[in-house]
Amino acid sequence: MPAKKIIAPFYERLALTLLGFLALGYLIIVGKDILDPLIFGFIFAILLLPVSNFLEKKLHLPRSMSSLASILLLVALVGGILYLVGSQISNLANDWPMLKSQVSQSIHDLQSWVQSAFHINAAKQLKYVDDASKKIMESGTDVVSTAFGAISSLMIFYVFIMIFTFFILLYRRLLLRFIIWVFRDENSAVVMDIVENVQSIMRQYILGLLLEMFIVASVAITVFLLIGIKYAALLGIIVGLFNIIPYIGIFTALLLSTIITFATGNIGKTVTVAVSVIVIHAVDANFLLPTIVGSKVRLNALISFIGIILGEMIWGLSGMFLSIPVIAIFKIIFDRIESLKPWGYLLGGDYESNKKAAEKLKVE
C-alpha cells in the first residue's frame, strides 16, 4: 500500500517561506560587495552573448578572444558616453565662479520678487539666504573632493563588473551544465526554458531601455536648445540617464535640471525646463515606454515600487537599477515551477498573461 503523502499545514509552509526570505535578504546584505558587480556582470554577459557568439562563429575567434573583444566593445561604448558627460561637467566646473555669482544674483532676484508679491519683510530672509548660499559655495571644494572619491570607487566597481562579465562569457557552458546537473536531468527541459526566457527577456528589456534612454535624451536636448538654456546637452543626458530609473528617476532629473538652470539662467527658464521635463516624462511613460520596451517584464506597479525602495535601502543606487531585472528573473522562475506559481502571479501585472491562474482563482 503506497504511503500517504503528508502535506504540511499552511502556517508552517508560510513560516518557512518567510524565514527563507529573511535568510536570503541577510545574505544579500552581507554579500553586497561581490553580488552587486556579479549581477551587473551577469546582465552585461546576457547583453553581449550574441556579439560573442557572432565573433566565434563568423570570425572563428576562440572563446577567450571573443569574450574579450565583446568586453572591449562595451568599454568603448561606455567610455564614449562618459567622455561626453565628462566634457560637459568640465565646462560646468570651469564656470564655477560665474555660477557662484549667478546663484547669488538669482537668489536676490527671487527674494525681491517674494517681497514685492507677498509683502513679506525680507531682512531676516535675506540674512538666512546669504548664510545658506555662502555655506553652499564655500563647500564647493569639499563637494569636488568627495565627487573624485566617488568616481574612483565607481571606476573600481566598473572594473570588477567587466572582469565578472568576461568570466561569465568565458565559462557560460560550464555554468549552464552545472545548473542542469544541480537540478537533475529530468528537470533539464524546465531549466533550459528558464535560461532561454531569462536571456531573451533580459536582452530585449535592456536594449529597449537603452533605446528609450537615447530617444528621451535626444528629445530633451532638442527642447533645452530651443529654450535657450546653457548646458542643454548635459541636462538632456541627465534626463535620459535618470529616466531609466522607474518612478524615482524623474524626480532626480527634475531636481538636477531645475537647480542647474536656476544657477545659469532665470526663474522663467527654470519653470520652463521643469514643465518640459514633466511633459517629456509623461509622454515617455504613456507612449514611448509601452511601445519600445513593451510588456517584456510583466511586473505590477506595486511590486516594482517596493522593489526599487528595497533595492535602494540594501544596495543604494545600484540596487535601484537592478531591482526590476532581478524581480523579473524571479518571476520567470516562479511562473515555471508549479509550487511557486502563486508568487509569480503576485509579481505579475498582466492578468491576460496569467489567464490560467486567473481562471483557477476565478479572478476577472
Give the residue-averaged pLDDT of 91-99: 65
How many of the other CB atoms lie within 10 Å of CB of 163? 14
Q: Name the grid cell of 171.
A: 565559462
204-221 b/e with 16+ CB inside 10 Å = b? Answer: ebbebbeebbebbbebbb
For 24-64, write each residue's pLDDT tens digit: 888 888 888 888 889 899 989 998 999 999 998 888 889 99
pLDDT tens for residues 301-316? Answer: 788 788 888 888 888 7
d(CA 301, CA 247): 10
DSSP codes joined into one string, 301-354: HHHHHHHHHHHHHHHTHHHHHHHHHHHHHHHHHHHTSGGGHHHHHHH---TTTT
pLDDT attached to residue 168: 92
pLDDT of residue 349: 59
The arithmetic mean of pLDDT across residues 237-265, rounded, is 77
**Nearby residues of 97 by Cβ (< 8 Å), 6 or more positions away:** none
CB atoms < 10 A from the CB of 347, how many? 22
Instruction: Indicate the DSSP class of residue 87.
Output: H
C-alpha cell at 179: 545548473
User: What is residue 157's predicted lDDT score, i.e. its pLDDT?
Assistant: 83
Q: What is the pTM of this model?
A: 0.70
Q: 92 pLDDT band (50/70/90 cuts)?
A: low
Q: For 201, which DSSP code?
A: H
- pLDDT digit string, tens, across residues 288-302: 766 666 555 667 778
pLDDT over 70 (residue 352): no
